[in-house]
Chains A and B, each alone.
Chain A
């Protein structure tokens, strides 16, 4: 079903409007899926921004596209493609030597090459499969409004697992992210933690991009964390703010999308996220000015 068929109208009674929107099962599922994805992405994204692995996160999210296209070409379910490619890419990125190794500084170039090659493979698979022109859009920019009940359950299980892993390693991961050298000296397994985190990031991104599309999952990863960083440097509080911002962005984006069906959800979510970020940055500067 297309949103334009539903023809939701915004009235002055907000509660009625929300009740109206949630009368449609696909809207309920969109909110359920959006909520799960927002919490997982915001939580893990907070660590990603802290560890300055934004580019790696973007690459992982993009790699889901060739995974899904390849799986569809081979006649498998796209879900397998997402997980296989994202986890494999996480391992490849983890294997790239870090900046300090032997004085080369092409770590980000290697990640960029991996990303472009992965996207090129996706294009190849889609071309080989043929008759896929509309599938491009779904894979790259998401199908928020076509989420099934099974997908919601899968999202919930995988998302919970990813969050459990992150919360188990949260303390040492935080230590290793903030000061890797001291952490290593204190016996924290920095390298193992870094690989674990990248794999969890891969899994989270793989599940989120089935809903948001490969190109927009990045918005839910980076925007809440970036906004939270302008508010506080405290870890627990920051994580909380990040998740709250993630939820607000997703709900607002979906809500506006219901009443303005001609606007794509991806555009709405990124716009809400970006304006929120700008507002927080300006507010922070104002507070510092007045202090």
Chain B
């Protein structure tokens, strides 16, 4: 990849490269959205749902490739559809463990089929690495236009979480009381899963379908270890997530052989381990 040839030219010139600027623009918005959404995902114990949606993202992307349409179209359509489906099928807008497992097992199987169809139809055109990009992300390969779209969607997702923050928090902490006070719990549950789907589709472009669950879970879980206050925790989750992406991108830039998605995930994991250690100190 030509991207890596340009790396290692020093920290100062990092932002002079357009591909790094694109990665930072898209990465920041994606990370902020993942952190904010992740806070509620962890609070509502829905990490497994997030995991299932990330696999749906893989299938969506490869389905789009197999059909020859824009990859992002497949990503958003499939993740949002699966999210809405899981929300509507489950009791009170939450899906059961086994149901989630069954759905994402089959979604993954479909993804394998699309992958085969795509590689058979596109063999010889040099697109064989596309599924690797979908699985593990290609944040350094985003174009300027893609980065702007990713940033806009990320900002909208952030605004949606913050806008619905109060009732969502109420419904997440004490569902029964929230329902009794007239909060539309079920609608919030389904709407929230759809938002997770949008975030998953977004994050797939940055860290890949297989790794995005880490970007959603790790900063949020760290934040919840560090503070009990919801708003502070929410902002801390977003900040930790953005920091993981910035640090990861910098590491990947300085060491060309380290993939960006690995570096991002390593920083996020280190954050969680640090927060875990901090919270265990009596």
Q: Which residues of A contact B (CB under 8 A)?
A: 49, 52, 54-55, 58, 62, 104-106, 108-113, 115-117, 119-121, 123-124, 127-128, 133, 136-137, 140-141, 215-216, 218-219, 222-223, 225-226, 229, 262-264, 266-271, 273-274, 277
* 16 additional contacts (CB under 8 A) given A49-B98, A109-B42: A104-B224, A106-B42, A108-B48, A113-B217, A115-B213, A116-B269, A119-B136, A119-B265, A120-B265, A123-B210, A127-B257, A128-B257, A226-B98, A226-B102, A229-B98, A262-B120
Please, could you name 20 A-B residue pairs with CB atoms under 8 Å apart, sorted by A? A49-B98, A55-B48, A62-B210, A105-B45, A106-B221, A109-B224, A110-B217, A113-B221, A123-B136, A123-B210, A133-B132, A136-B131, A137-B131, A216-B112, A262-B120, A264-B112, A266-B112, A270-B106, A274-B106, A277-B102
- Provide the main secondary structure of the chain A interface: helix
Most chain A Cβ neighbours within 10 Å, of B51, B101, B208, B211: B101
Q: Are B112 and A267 in contact (CB under 8 A)?
A: yes
In the A-B complex, list the 9 residue pairs whose CB atoms are closest, starting with the nearest: A116-B214, A270-B109, A109-B221, A120-B265, A274-B106, A112-B217, A267-B113, A106-B221, A108-B47
Closest Cβ of chain B: how far from A252's Cβ, in Å?
Answer: 13
Closest Cβ of chain A: how far from B153's Cβ, in Å?
Answer: 21
CA distance A68 to B269 in the complex (A): 21
Known: A110-B272, A219-B105, A222-B105. A55 touches B97 (CB 8 A): yes
Closest Cβ of chain A: how far from B219's Cβ, in Å?
Answer: 9
CA distance A112 to B200 in the complex (A): 14
Let me know if B143 is at the binding interface, CB within 8 A. Answer: no
Let me know if B268 is at the binding interface, CB within 8 A. Answer: yes
Let me know if B110 is at the binding interface, CB within 8 A. Answer: yes
Q: Are B105 and A120 in contact (CB under 8 A)?
A: no
Cβ–Cβ < 8 Å partners of A136 in chain B: 131-132, 135
Interface residues of B in 93-135 (CB under 8 A from A): 97-98, 100-102, 105-106, 108-110, 112-113, 115-116, 120, 128-129, 131-132, 135
Let me know if B266 is at the binding interface, CB within 8 A. Answer: yes
Closest Cβ of chain B: how far from A283's Cβ, in Å?
Answer: 16
Which one of A54, A140, A215, A219 lies within 8 Å of B98 (CB-CB)? A54
Let me know if B261 is at the binding interface, CB within 8 A. Answer: yes
CA distance A264 to B128 in the complex (A): 16
Which one of B101, B115, B216, B262 lies within 8 Å of A121 (CB-CB)? B262
Let me know if B195 is at the binding interface, CB within 8 A. Answer: no
Cβ–Cβ < 8 Å partners of B276 in chain A: 110
Cβ–Cβ < 8 Å partners of A218 in chain B: 101, 105, 108
CA distance A29 to B211 in the complex (A): 34
Q: Are A223 and B105 in contact (CB under 8 A)?
A: yes
Which one of B101, B110, B128 lies within 8 Å of A133 (CB-CB)? B128
Chain B residue with the shortest CB-CB distance to A141: B112
Which one of A108, A110, A262, A267 lies within 8 Å of B110 (CB-CB)? A267
